[in-house]
């Protein structure tokens, strides 16, 4: 039987989740671990047993957006998703998928837009952008599949509108297995162009995409 946390520790755990959520929203941090460490430092928490789970921080982040940003957050999220759609249409030949906070709805105005692309390497993506006059940079991103399996993939970074796009390039067959979500460890949710268009229509029914 798991040991129940005492009320004082439970209260600190909630406070840490709320503070981590505030930091992520206001500082544009998408790294749950970093936000958690900053929150613990600010509140003077040294017992790791009271640190909140990433899922608890995500819930607190959604609450923070709802309570303190209201309609502003909805507008920011719609703008991010519209920019993501623009980038996905540009890269349509690589079967782009939107992932992360912009898809889940927890993104802030500072959040980057993350896409998953499927191609035999980063070169075809880079050439595609080069042919269209889009400046870009190629880096590397480490993705987790199981606790003990990390895989490095190329990431093509460029700007769409005024937002940075991180396009992680998976092999063509990588579309069948999504890496683990940093929030709950489950396979990462991915949305294609049609799904994103549907989300945008739900947010603004009178607009046509």
Q: Go through 147-180 and write b for each residue having 16 or more CB atoms within 10 A of its CB, e for each that does not.
A: eeeeeebbbbbbebeebebbbbbbeeebeeebbb
H helices of the chain, in order, are 7-27, 32-43, 54-64, 71-90, 101-104, 123-131, 193-203
Does position 206 have pLDDT exceeding 80, yes or no?
no
Q: Residues of 108-120 as b/e, b for ≥16 C-beta within 10 angstroms?
A: bbebbbbbbbbbe
Q: Is the pTM of this model over 0.85?
A: no
Work out whether the CA dihedral 99, 196, 202, 204 comes out positive or negative.
positive
pLDDT in tens, 139-150: 999 999 987 899
Average pLDDT over residues 131-159: 94
Q: 159-186: per-residue pLDDT in tens?
A: 998 899 999 999 999 999 999 998 889 9
pLDDT of residue 74: 86
Beta strands at 113-118 and 149-160: parallel, antiparallel or unpaired: unpaired
Residue 1's pLDDT is 39
Q: CATH fold of 71-203, please? A: Beta Polymerase; domain 2 (3.30.460)
Q: Per-residue pLDDT averaged across 205-209, rounded?
A: 45
Question: What share of the chain has pLDDT > 90, as a percent?
Answer: 63
Q: Which sequence spans correspond to the domains of the chain?
A: 7-69, 71-203
């Amino acid at each position: 039987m798991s040991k129940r946390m005492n009320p004082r520790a439970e209260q600190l755990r909630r406070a840490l989740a709320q503070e981590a959520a505030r930091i992520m929203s206001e500082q544009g941090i998408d790294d749950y671990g970093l936000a958690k460490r900053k929150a613990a430092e600010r509140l003077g928490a040294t017992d790791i047993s009271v640190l909140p789970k990433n899922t608890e921080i995500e819930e607190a982040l959604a609450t923070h957006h709802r309570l303190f940003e209201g309609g502003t957050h909805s507008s920011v999220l719609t703008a991010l998703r519209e920019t993501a759609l623009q980038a996905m249409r540009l890269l349509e030949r690589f079967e782009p998928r939107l992932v992360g906070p912009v898809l889940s709805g927890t993104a802030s105005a500072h959040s980057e837009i993350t896409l998953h692309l499927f191609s035999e390497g980063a070169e075809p993506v880079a050439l595609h952008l080069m042919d269209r006059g889009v400046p870009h940079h190629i880096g590397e991103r480490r993705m987790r599949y199981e606790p003990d399996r990390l895989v490095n993939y190329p990431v093509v970074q460029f700007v769409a509108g005024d937002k940075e796009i991180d396009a992680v390039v998976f092999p063509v067959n990588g579309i069948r297995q999504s890496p683990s979500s940093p929030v709950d460890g489950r396979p990462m949710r991915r949305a294609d162009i049609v799904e994103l268009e549907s989300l945008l229509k739900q947010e603004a029914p009178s607009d046509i995409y």
